[in-house]
């Protein structure tokens, strides 16, 4: 019997499913309980890295449902390698199958968050020497370091609770911040060993993480219970505790904690969600641009004055206008925001409207680029001149020029691309 179940688990042909009431109830009970597990051992423009003849500038594209990472050349955007980030998948699935609690969470995450698919790569970064890939694997509730040349796992760290999510890497490459979704904490990992060397508390469902350019602070946000069907503003409190936090990266003390829904209400914008989604920081790190659940647009927030500057609405597609909130993917109206190197233009993934938007921050004029399928993330190039938008709905990556406001390339990638990160990879680690 066990062998039959295990075979079924390994060979399941996953496909998007509409959650049943029973699966919703199971997930609300399990995920809402805070995880029941223990841990073990762009937005903003990334800082320039020194040129190195032994490394190559690349793009990392995480193909979530494939369990692969594509390494694309920059420029040219040819695929240099495709890394299997789950070489231990059968071993991990056997662990899940033989643990009833883990198996229940696994199924709930698969159906309600993964749309019927395993979530095998949420976020990833490369080590500063370009030899190692760090990957968070949501369905497997862990983070792994993978040697790019061999494809072998160097270390694996289990996170608190039952799901790993967004990450950030410190500018010096020594620390990795990873959100443990159901554990309601952010772990700080030593990138050389995978050891958890610290953590800080978050709200429900910790999500986005960004290090400041000097590595002294972490900008973090939690998004609450985004998988519940209680999406009406009058039921907003059922979504749990959601905060934007600024954390001291050395002491891990919370310097600032804000309920952005309350901040927006006090500024004259009631009935907006407290769930801060992707965020982007201005080059001087004095201004925060962020998205919130269910909102088609973005908010500009002055971090020095602690006040809302502007709330900017962007258009909805015809399909999105008639879409009930319960059909928004994980409460996201938009999910992806990046800023150019000059700090005067935003690149936005209009997720439920299937577009990319380029917004001039001086005039708030914008252009809409219909990409025909669900957009998921936006990242600015290392030189600040291009925006990379993942199109999860048709397995492509779009490249936009900030200067010309045009799409300059469209590249096929793996199944359901989500996070896109810039990196430099050791040439010796790549196939010739």
Going from N- to C-terminal start, the domains of the chain cover 54-429
CATH tag, 54-429: 2.130.10.10
Q: How many whole angstroms separate alpha carbon 102 and alpha carbon 108? A: 10
Q: How many whole angstroms separate alpha carbon 354 and alpha carbon 333? A: 10
pLDDT score for 262: 97
Per-residue pLDDT at 221 exceeds 50? yes
Q: pLDDT for 67-105, tens place per residue?
A: 999 999 999 999 999 999 999 999 999 999 999 999 999
Element at 260 (helix H, strand E): helix 260-266
Mean pLDDT of the chain: 89
φ, ψ dihedrals at 6, nearest 5°: -65, -45
pLDDT class of 39 with cuts at 50, 70, 90:
low
Using CB atoms within 10 Å of the CB of residue 50, give its burial: 0 to 12 exposed, 13 to 18 middle, 19+ buried: exposed
Tokens of 228: 């519940």
Strand partners, 349: 356
Query: 391 by DSSP, 3-state: which?
Result: strand
Asked if 110 and 409 count as a contact pair (C-beta separation under 8 A), the reply is no
Q: pLDDT for 322-355, tens place per residue?
A: 899 888 988 999 999 999 999 999 999 999 999 9
Asked if 377 and 419 count as a contact pair (C-beta separation under 8 A), the reply is yes
In order, the DSSP letters of 270-319 are: -S--S-EEEEEE-TTS-EEEEEETT-SEEEEEETTTTEEEEEEE-PPPHH
Asked if 56 and 424 count as a contact pair (C-beta separation under 8 A), the reply is yes
pLDDT class of 31 with cuts at 50, 70, 90:
very low
Whole-angstrom CA distances from 176 to 125, 194, 218, 325 are 9, 9, 11, 34
Per-residue pLDDT at 2 exceeds 70? no
What integer is the mean pLDDT of 360-383? Answer: 97
Q: pLDDT for 273-307, tens place per residue?
A: 999 999 999 999 999 999 999 999 999 999 999 99
Q: 212-221, 320-329, 378-387: which has the minimum mean pLDDT?
A: 320-329
Give the best-scoring range by mean pLDDT among 144-153, 220-229, 423-432: 144-153
φ, ψ dihedrals at 202, nearest 5°: -130, -175
Radius of gyration (C-alpha) of the chain in whole angstroms: 20
pLDDT score for 294: 95
Q: What is the dihedral of CA 268, 273, 278, 281, to 10 degrees?
A: 20
Q: Rounded to two decimals, what is the model's pTM?
A: 0.89
Q: How far is CA 385 from the centre of its chain?
A: 22
Q: How many whole angstroms separate alpha carbon 32 and alpha carbon 276? A: 19
Q: How many whole angstroms separate alpha carbon 338 and alpha carbon 326? A: 27
Query: 102 by DSSP, 3-state: which?
Result: helix
């Amino acid at each position: 019997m066990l062998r039959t179940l295990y075979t079924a688990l390994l060979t399941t042909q996953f496909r998007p499913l509409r959650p049943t009431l029973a699966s919703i109830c199971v997930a609300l009970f399990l995920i809402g309980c805070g995880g029941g597990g223990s841990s073990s051992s762009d937005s903003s423009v990334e800082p320039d890295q020194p040129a190195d003849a032994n490394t190559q500038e690349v793009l990392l594209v995480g193909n979530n449902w494939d369990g692969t990472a594509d390494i694309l050349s920059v420029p040219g955007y040819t695929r240099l390698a495709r890394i299997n980030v789950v070489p231990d998948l059968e071993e991990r699935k056997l662990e899940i199958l033989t643990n009833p609690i883990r198996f229940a969470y696994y199924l709930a995450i698969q159906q309600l968050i993964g749309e019927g698919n395993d979530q095998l790569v949420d976020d990833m970064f490369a080590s500063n020497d370009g030899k190692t890939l760090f990957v968070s694997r949501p369905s497997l509730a862990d983070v792994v370091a993978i040697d790019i040349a061999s494809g072998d796992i160097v270390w694996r760290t289990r996170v608190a609770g039952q799901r790993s999510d967004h990450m950030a890497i410190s500018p010096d490459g020594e620390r990795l911040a990873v959100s443990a979704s159901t554990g309601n904490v952010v772990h700080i990992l030593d990138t050389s060993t995978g050891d958890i060397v610290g953590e800080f508390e978050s709200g429900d469902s910790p999500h986005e993480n960004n290090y400041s350019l000097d590595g002294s602070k972490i900008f973090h946000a939690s998004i609450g219970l985004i998988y519940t069907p209680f999406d009406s503003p009058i039921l907003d409190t059922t979504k749990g505790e959601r905060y934007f936090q600024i954390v001291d990266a050395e002491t891990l003390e919370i310097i600032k904690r804000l309920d952005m829904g309350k901040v927006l209400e006090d500024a004259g914008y009631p009935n907006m969600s407290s769930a801060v989604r992707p965020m982007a920081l201005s080059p001087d790190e004095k201004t925060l641009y962020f998205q919130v659940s269910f909102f088609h647009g973005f908010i500009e927030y002055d971090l020095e004055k602690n006040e809302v500057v502007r709330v900017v609405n962007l258009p909805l597609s015809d399909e999105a206008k008639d879409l009930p909130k319960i059909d928004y993917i994980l409460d996201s109206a938009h999910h992806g925001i990046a800023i150019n190197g000059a700090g005067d233009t935003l690149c936005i993934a209009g997720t439920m409207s299937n577009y990319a938007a380029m917004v001039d921050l001086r005039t708030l004029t914008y252009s809409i680029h219909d990409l025909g399928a669900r957009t998921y993330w936006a990242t600015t190039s290392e030189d600040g001149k291009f925006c990379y938008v993942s199109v999860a709905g048709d397995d492509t990556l779009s490249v936009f020029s900030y200067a010309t406001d045009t799409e300059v390339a469209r590249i096929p990638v793996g199944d359901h691309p989500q996070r896109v990160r810039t990196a430099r990879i050791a040439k010796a680690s790549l196939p010739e």
